[in-house]
Amino acid sequence: MSEEDNKSEPRKEEDAQVGAPEPEQKAATVSAEQPDAAAAGEETAPGGEGGESEEVMDPKEVEDGKVLAIISYLVPFVFLVPLIQRNNAFSLYHAKQVLLLSLASIALTMVGAIPCLGWIIAGLGGPFLFVLAIMGLINAINSKAVPVPLVGKYAVQWFAGMTKQ
């Protein structure tokens, strides 16, 4: 029976170790429950890696900035107007998305200067960025402040300092 006592003793330790992460899980859950930044007028980061979250904006603000947001995707360098003026949150949001796509396009052009492998990457990346721009344009047309897939979350994070004045 002493062997059974020894066997049961380590199991209690294993149970204690298995149960140890529970407080950490609770802490993660509690820390995830933060005040709603969208209600405070701040930009919210996209939800999880696979998900997208739409930013809540004032409907009047969306309607006022919709035309400039759409034109930002269609005409080169027009996205700079909302970035400079910063008077409309909706057009500024989409201008940040276009700015990231433009920077990615410049980087892709530089990579395309590398023979062979660079040409392949640029050949695949160019149409991919075009599709992302079309998706962003569709979001702007539908009055949605949703980041473009895969890279849009970085625009929200990297350009968070650019806010409406």
Full domain range(s) for residue 109: 58-165
**Both 8 and 66 in a single domain?**
no
21, 99: one domain: no
Contact 95, 119 (CB under 8 A): no
Domain count within the chain? 2
Query: Is 53 inside any structural domain?
Result: no
Mean pLDDT by 10 residues, the chain (165 residues): 51 47 37 36 41 73 89 88 85 91 94 93 93 94 92 86 79
For the full predicted model, state whether its pTM sits above 0.75: no
pLDDT of amino acid 106: 94
Q: Is residue 41 part of a domain?
A: no
Nearest to 137 by CA among 82, 77, 66, 87: 66
